[in-house]
Structure 1
Amino acid sequence: MRIFTLLLSFFIATGAWAQGSVTGSVLDNTGKPVEKASVIILNVKDSSEVKGTSTGSDGVYHLRHINPGQYLVVASAVGMVKRYSDPFTVGSQETTVPGLRLDPEVKALSEVTITNKKPMIEQKIDRVVVNVDASPTNVGTTVMDVLQKTPGVSVDKDGNISLKGKSGVMVMMDGKPTYLSAADLANLLKNMPSSELEQIELMTNPPAKYDAAGNAGIINLKTKKNKARGFNGNVTIGGGIGKGPKANNSLNLNYRSGKFNFFASYNESYNRHPQTLDLVRKFRDTIGGPVVSVFNQHSDMMNDFSEQSFKVGTDYSLDKKTTIGVVLTGYFNPGYFDNTSKTNIEDGQGNIDSVMTTFGHTKMYWHNFGTNLNFKHTFDTAGTELSADFDYLGYGSSSYQMYQTEYATPDGTLLPPVDTLRGITPGNIYIYTGKVDFVHPFKNNWKLEAGIKGSSVRTDNDAEYDNLTAGKWIVDTTKTNHFVYTEMIGAAYGNVTKVFNKKWTVQAGLRLETTNSKGDLKTNNTTFNRNYTQLFPTTYIQYTLNDKNQFVLDYGRRIQRPDYGDLNPFKYFLDPYTYQEGNPYLKPQFSNTVELSHTYHSFLTTTLNYTQVTDIIQQVLLQNDATHTTFVQQGNVARQENIGLSVNAGLPVTKWWTPNLYVSGQYNDFKGIVNGYPLEVFGYSVTGNMNNSFTFKHGWSAEVSGWYQGRQVSGTLIANPMGQINFGAGKQVFKNAGTIRLNLQDPFNLGHFSGYSRYGNVDVTIVNHWDNRVVNLSFTYRFGKNQQNIKEHRQSSSASEEESRVKKGN
């Protein structure tokens, strides 16, 4: 009996010795400890509960006597969303799980709402988040269409994006700059299907961690990542018809098991859309004198583009604290642009002197390839971590242009000669970037963030234009050019956050950026250099009066460097008298912004802002009276002052109806010199977005949305009011594994541009119509393990951290 007792004691002792323990912490989304949070450890194989506990006043938990094996933990608290950890291995020693951060709970809008369905608009402390798939009217649309109806965002006739009435927005893909010119970015977004996006983040005053570029702040486009365990994915097939056909198709695959995660996506789109452009240009011998000549121009244009894009990547957990990853991305965007432009050249009394007709055909091809290597190491449960990203991005473009211009008398008799112009304009951009970020929370609710970044960019554009003379192509030296631009930027930042108590939180940051750039116009042996170092402070003060009222006061200084394409001095023609030209002498613009916002009951946010901009970069119309040519160019036109007041409200009216309304009023004042003429314009404008989401029984949903942009003053251009109304519906099928969506975009055909530019010797009226009235239909099917508990684990496990590691290279 004694021997039996000794053996039993031995086995109990050895069994206890072989067991391990688990510890970690639970924090809220501001980094404060969560007391009495429920923590349960689960078996990875079947998600069965093994043991549970709760956190102490310091947010720390301990789970003891855990057998060796594969586990994960889930943390929950009242009023907060559950959070799951990544899987980890328990041995005989203590295992430390990285800290889990719980976000405030978003209540379901309806008893029949799909589990984990997100609202279309989320108002957070430092940004507004738009969940793209939450809106049925986004089906079959492009990213540019979605941006156009996003609260606070406006898009002009050329695709230039403004945020809360301010131009100079930095558009990022998955947290990284696109490095594209405004025209190339607009082309990308107009052809990129919205089905690629998961969220749009709007930050009007980003913290020091982000690049200081962007006068109006940052719009971050977050692409989709498949978040379920095992093998799974989804496929979408969609098409639409307006004046031309549209198509949007995509395939997303994901496999995750243990320490390994592999993901891949492929997207294909096609968009054929016509548009018309009417320009009336009046010429005078002297400013304010009588009109001596009028160019009355009508252009019929056809854009035909397709896009194929891919993303392939993998993450691997070296151990419970260290993860590495690699992502490969690319897109291919071939297409063509046809234009027939007819111009009646009239005298001052409206009599037609002659008629000019230009036939243009441009064949274009864009392509991109990107590589990202990423690393993250977590040191402790408090959230101390080190992360790094290294990227290579390559962009290539080629354009073959052919223009033929005929001249005729008013009765149609052709006048020789016929002008024929050929243009070949290849271009390449090579970008290398690297950054390292460090986060370290301290006791007493202090947190330090610091990092460094470096980038090297080289653009090479070589344009050759030839005239057909006597059957031979002769180089046109007035248009041919070769431009090389190099730029190196080094940056370092520090950011400190202090939570004093439940009412007061302060954050302060400082970013230093040094820029060295060189432009080389090889055709005429002209070079220029620009070297400067600037500091960019940011400050945030948050005061929570009570559980219903919260105030935030923030300040930030930012820079907007010229886009690479805007520095390129090449010319792109509509006809011999109308073209677009780059400006290699553009300077950066600087802005200072102060914002005060108030949030009531988490549904009503009111923001008052003041911004001052120096050397603002704006698109201007310039005119040569001697040659009667008009061209568009970016320039440092003026000093701008902007005062704005915006209100965003979103609250369920019933269980099945949730409206969201955004209204913004802006005052803009521009003062400067443009082309030697004084510019002093000011004006008030109103913009608004409206979304109504309806959720019904049996998987049905619907939406009515729209946007309105009042009269706008934008430098030298005055834009008349415009808007759009959209309708959409959706239905869940195949036991919620499939979704059918129907969207009717702009059925009343309200979304067209009209405006004018009148200053100095310039007098131009513009009317632009495009293919807005479109019907789209799509079907999405989700396959693989579906997923219930397991899927929810993956959706909730450090999502923001994983998204920061999985980045698209565009």
Structure 2
Amino acid sequence: MKLKLILICLIGTLFSMQAQTSVKPTILENTGIISGKITDKKTNEPLPYVNIVVKENNKVITGEITSDKGTFQIKNLALKDYIVEIQFMGYKTITKAISLTNDAKNANLNTIAIEEDAIELKGVNIIAEPSTIEQKIDRKVINVGKDLTTAGATASEIMNNIPSVNVDQDGKLSLRGNENVRVLVDGRPSNIEASQLLKQIPSTSIKKIELITNPSAKYNPEGMSGIINIVLHKNANDGFNASINTGLTFAQTPKISNSLNMNYRTGKVNFFSTYGNNFGKNFNEGNISRLDDNSNQMFDIVNDNKSHLFKIGMDYYINDKNTISAYTNQNIFVGNGIVDVNIVNPNTSQNLLLNSKYFSDNTDGTYNVAFKHLTKKEGETLDLEINHSIYSENQDASFLTTFNNPNIPSSSYNDNLGDKRQNSTVNLDYVNPLNDKTNLELGAESRIIRTENNYMTNNSSLSNSDYSYDLDIYSAYATFGQKFKKIGYQLGARFESYKVNAMLNGVTAYKDDYFTVYPSASMTYSPTEKNQFQISLSRRVDRPSLDQTKPIREFSTPRITSIGNPELDPQFTTSIELNYTKTIAKGSFSTGLFIRSIYNEINRILYPDPQNQDQQIMSFDNFDNNTAYGFEASLNYKINSWWDIQPAIDFSSINQNGLVSVLNSTTNTFDLVSKEVTASAFNARFNSNFKATKNLRFLLFGFYRSGVDGVQFNGKEMYKIDTGGRYSFLKDKATLSVRFNDIFNTMKAGFDGQNPYPQVGQFTWESQSLYLGFNYIFGAGKNKNLQRKQRDNNTKQDGGGLF
């Protein structure tokens, strides 16, 4: 009931503010007006959406974009001298000096014809040579350049090149040393597990990657370490435009990746689409040695995967103030996995081989409709967005165990996993700049999530199950910020009602219902234009995922089985960050510190199977309060005209609590014992780009990750060196890229542990590989730099934001 009252009051506030701002402001007698019309010099046609920027003493005072007829009118200007810049992508910038006085309050620039810039390449989405890193007020933005797209064929392969981000050999993602990170695509969540999703997105389909490590209250609070938002290419250029990318990775066997980005714009309608695919076999090998009985497990894993990614949509520009957009993202994945586990003992009669085969196919569809309204008041916006996603997976698995002892017959069984998930979201966002220094943001959201998981098996020792995990989340937020000459601040709070209901075979397995407030605060201080400090605070939550809660096997080998825990509670985190960014003559430097206080931490547990002491069960549980801290630093520096570097380091430390199984020598059974460790991780990256000629560039990349102590296992250090080059031709419309990853084949995931048994192990994958890529772009359109497109950027001043 409380939430309903909040939503009613919020919606009432939105409409009352809308009504208040509909009154036209009075133009004072001592203010002036600048007006005019912009046309194409070659065709004489009017150009809509051209940027008109008004500057005073080299500082931007205000601005406007031209209408559909190419006209503009900027009012309420003080009677002073100004510089007016006319900016439009693909055209030369025009500068005009204007003087507004009591005798000449209205400056009519009449018709200004602008011409195409011959230096600018006509066409679509020109990918820059080196990637660039922008430190914005609430996020770090990595604009993906050709150096990153040549790092690998998929998003998973390029993530390790990004500061503070790590991907392990299983594809699991972590940010600042923590795996509790929320991954979004185009600002929207996906039903696909992040490690699998990243392997399905071609690297050439990515426009930029945003790291939001301490989000404000307007963002959904999931993810202890923050949000990673992957923004795919979307064109809005006139006419028909396209870019084609194809890549071939040579490792144990060749792998193919392709992508195609297209758009067609005519008049007020823009159609856009993206298609990408990945095909090929992936090989992993590993071994785990138990030191107590001198046995050895050897793993041979082959995954033959095929994935397709589609993005199709359209924008309809109703007029200068209203835009409606619709798109769909479709992921199709088919995978065949073969896992051979060979257990070798000193007594050869105890040897056995488990052959497991997994046949999986899944589809994930996201459907999005959005409406944006710009009021007559500059900067005031109202956004309505409806998003619905459907995920379906089916996995058939077969297990065959053969024994070296001829007296023991082989055994086999089959099982099937069916998984269905639906996520429906409706959110409303309102932004009102109360004055030139003050900004108010309000919003409300409804999320309904339904999941079904069915497990069937013909193994008599296992049971069929039907598991569901349903969430109802209703929230509202408000943020208020002010920006002065050198100091700015923002305060916010998100109010959320959360209900969860888990059912196992028709019986309630877990149920919770609570109302929570997630506050946020941030402050920036810029003593000069080249120096900025920022401090921020937020409260966040990590809710158990379906895979963490479902009491059904995630995977199974002769000695270890992974299952979920339906009784997991949410984990809450309070984070404080301090960041500093400095712009220098040839680049920029940024650094940051963070401290986290964690309540009800979710962590892994490992214990012997009560029915078989030689079998281990891996699951999850909640633990007491915890703390974490860390720092990061990165530099973007251009040494000279032909050499630029981007070194980066990050360090994180967390006190982890967990349960380990310790053998009781008296009873010869295992006792669960609490264990606490300090898990500290250090990462270093060094990216260097060399410009040999105008068209030829080379790159060198180095990576180091320190060893990390854990509750269950201690990880060993990892490091590698990559090198590559790229050549542009056909007037920069075509690019040929090559990259040799892990030159010395040093990337290996080694570990050791003492509980429940002393053991050491190592896993390897196809880290050493050769990638060849080709890119070609064509089209003759000019980009329409629309205000509406700010929604895609998900920047802090926008109304839409990430949910």
- What is the rounded CA distance, in whole Å, between the counterparts of 1:74 and 1:741 in structure 2? 47
Give distance in 2, aligned partners of 1:362 and 1:79: 64
Partner of 2:112: none
Partner residue, 2:697 = 701
C-alpha distance in structure 1 between counterparts of 2:307 and 2:64, whole Å: 52
CA distance in 1, matches of 2:644, 2:353: 52
Whole-angstrom distance in 2 between the partners of 1:79 and 1:645: 43
Name the SS of the counterpart of 1:148 in structure 2.
helix
If the length of structure 1 is used for normalisation, what is the TM-score? 0.82
CA contact (8 A) 1:139 1:778 kept: no
Partner of 1:434: 426
Residue of structure 1 in register with 2:539 after alignment:
557
1:568 counterpart = 2:550: yes
Tell me, in whole angstroms, the C-alpha distance in 2 between the residues paired with 1:669 and 1:80: 54
2:253 to 244, 265, 269: 244
State the 1:778 CA deviation. Answer: 1.5
Contact 2:149–2:203 (Cα < 8 Å) also in 1? no
1:678-689 correspondence runs (5 A): 678-689=674-685
Task: Give the corresponding residue for 2:592.
Answer: 607
- Judged with a 3 Å threshold, the aligned counterparts in structure 2 of structure 1 residues 630 and 73 are, in CA distance, closer, same or farther, namely farther
Cα distance in 2 for residues equivalent to 1:199 and 1:36: 40
In 2: Cα distance, 1:703 partner to 1:73 partner: 48
Q: Which residue of 2 aligns with 1:460?
A: 452
1:191–1:325 Cα change, 3 Å: closer
Q: Does 1:666 align with 2:652?
A: yes
Q: In structure 1, the residue corresponding to 2:218 is in which secondary structure?
A: coil
Q: Which amino acid aligns with 2:528?
A: N
1:116 and 1:160, CA in 2 relative to 1: closer, same or farther beyond 3 A? closer
Are 1:782 and 2:772 an aligned pair?
A: no
Q: Which residue of structure 2 aligns with residue 12 of structure 1? A: none
Of 782, 791, 800, which residue of structure 1 is paired with 2:790? 800
Cα pair distance change 1:136/1:223, threshold 3 Å: closer
Cα drift, residue 636 of structure 1: 2.4
Aligned to 1:6: none
1:59 match = 61
Match of 1:390 among 386, 411, 419: 386
Stretches of structure 2 lacking an aligned partner (at least 5 in a row): 1-23, 26-30, 76-81, 91-105, 107-119, 121-125, 662-671
1:315, distance to aligned residue in structure 2 (A)? 0.9
Distance 1:244 1:67 in 2: 55
Shift of 1:71: 4.9
Give the SS at the match of 2:350: strand
Alignment of 1:83-122 (within 5 A): 119-122=131-134
Report the residue type matching 1:612 in the other structure. Answer: S
Post-superposition CA distance 1:207-227 (Å, at most 9, x none): 111110000011111111123
Q: CA deviation at 1:79?
A: 14
Over 3 Å counting, the alpha-carbon distance change for 1:639 and 1:708 in structure 2 is: farther
* Cα offset, 1:124, TM superposition: 2.2
Q: Within 1, Cα distance between the matches of 2:498 and 2:792?
A: 31
Report deviation, 1:68.
9.7
1:332 and 2:332 aligned: yes
| 1:268-307 → structure 2 map (5 Å cutoff) | 268-281=277-290, 291=292, 293-307=293-307
Deviation, 1:573, is 4.0
**Counterparts of 1:207 and 1:156, CA distance in 2:** 29
- Give the superposed CA RMSD: 3.4
How big is the shift at 1:156? 2.8
Distance in 1, Cα, partners of 2:433 & 2:620: 45
Q: Deviations over 1:375-431 (max 9, x none)?
A: 10000352100001111100010111011001114xxxx332211010111111111
Measure how far apart 1:58 and its partner are: 9.6
Q: Using CA pairs below 8 Å that are at least 6 residues apart, which structure has the higher relative contact order?
A: 1
* Aligned position for 1:510: 493
Q: 2 CA distance for matches of 1:61 and 1:153?
A: 37
Query: Out of 628, 640, 651, which is 1:654 matched to?
Result: 640
Secondary structure at 1:416's aligned position in 2?
A: coil
CA 1:58/1:81 → structure 2, altered by over 3 Å: closer, same or farther? closer
1:632 and 2:618 aligned: yes
| Higher deviation after alignment, 743-752 or 132-141 | 132-141
Q: Does 2:761 match 1:766?
A: yes
Contact 2:219 2:802 in 1 (8 A): no
Superposed CA offset, 1:584-617 (max 9, x none): 1111111111111122226111211111212222
Matches of 2:67 and 2:205, distance apart in 1: 43
Q: 1:125: how far off?
A: 2.5
Shift of 1:635: 2.8
The match for 1:522 among 502, 505, 511 is: 505
CA distance in 2, matches of 1:371, 1:209: 22
Using the TM superposition, give the Cα deviation of residue 539 of structure 1 relative to its aligned residue in structure 2, in angstroms: 0.8
Q: 1:758 to 1:641 in 2, by over 3 A?
A: farther
Q: 1:129 and 2:111 equivalent?
A: no
Q: Distance in 2 between matches of 1:311 and 1:431?
A: 18
Letter of the aligned partner of 1:665 in structure 2?
F
Q: 1:359 — aligned with what?
A: 355
In 2: Cα distance, 1:605 partner to 1:53 partner? 29
The offset of 1:138, in angstroms, is 2.9
For the 8 Å contact 2:219–2:801, the answer to whether it is kept is no
Q: Deviations over 1:658-694 (max 9, x none)?
A: 1111111222222354573111111433111221122
Counterpart CA distance in 2 for 1:40 and 1:420 is 80
How far did residue 360 of structure 1 move? 1.3
Q: Deviations over 1:742-774 (max 9, x none)?
A: 121112212221113334x35443311011111
Instruction: For residue 341 of structure 1, report the CA deviation from its aligned partner.
Output: 0.9
Aligned partners of 2:801, 2:310: CA distance in 1, in Å? Answer: 9
Letter in 2 for 1:43: T
Change (3 A) 1:72 1:230: farther
Within a 5 Å distance, the mapping from 1:93-492 to structure 2 comes to: 119-135=131-147, 138=150, 140-180=152-192, 184-281=193-290, 291=292, 293-346=293-346, 354-409=350-405, 414-467=406-459, 476=460, 478-492=462-476
Shift, 1:554, TM fit: 0.9
Q: Which residue of 2 aligns with 1:11?
A: none
Give me the whole-angstrom Cα distance separating, in 1, the residues matched to 2:370 and 2:521.
29
TM-superposed CA distance for 1:577, in Å, is 2.8
Gapped regions of structure 1 (runs ≥ 5): 1-23, 26-34, 86-93, 95-107, 109-113, 283-290, 468-475
Whole-Å Cα distance in 2 between the matches of residues 574 and 203 of structure 1? 35
Q: Structure 1's 58 and 697: CA in aligned 2 closer, same or farther, altered over 3 A? A: closer
Task: Decide which moves more: 208-217 or 221-230.
Answer: 221-230
Say how many residue pairs are matched.
713
User: Aligned pair in 2 of structure 1 residues 49, 440: CA closer, same or farther (>3 Å)?
Assistant: closer
Structure 1 residue 724, shift from structure 2 partner:
2.5
What secondary structure, in the 3-state scheme, does the structure 2 residue paired with 1:698 have?
coil
Deviates more, 1:715-724 or 1:442-451: 715-724
How many percent identity over aligned positions?
24
Asked if the contact 2:67/2:320 (under 8 Å) is kept, the reply is: no
Matched to 2:172, the amino acid is N
* Structure 2 match to 1:19: none
- Superposed displacement of residue 82, structure 1: 4.7
Whole-angstrom distance in 2 between the partners of 1:218 and 1:392: 20
Q: Tell me the alpha carbon deviations over residues 479-501 of structure 1, each in whole angstroms, 9 at most, x when there is no partner.
A: 4221011111111111111012x
Amino acid aligned to 1:433: T
- TM-score, normalized by length of structure 2? 0.82
2:743 to 741, 747, 761: 747
Amino acid at match of 1:554: S
3-state SS of the aligned residue for 2:694?
helix
Q: Which amino acid aligns with 1:275?
A: N
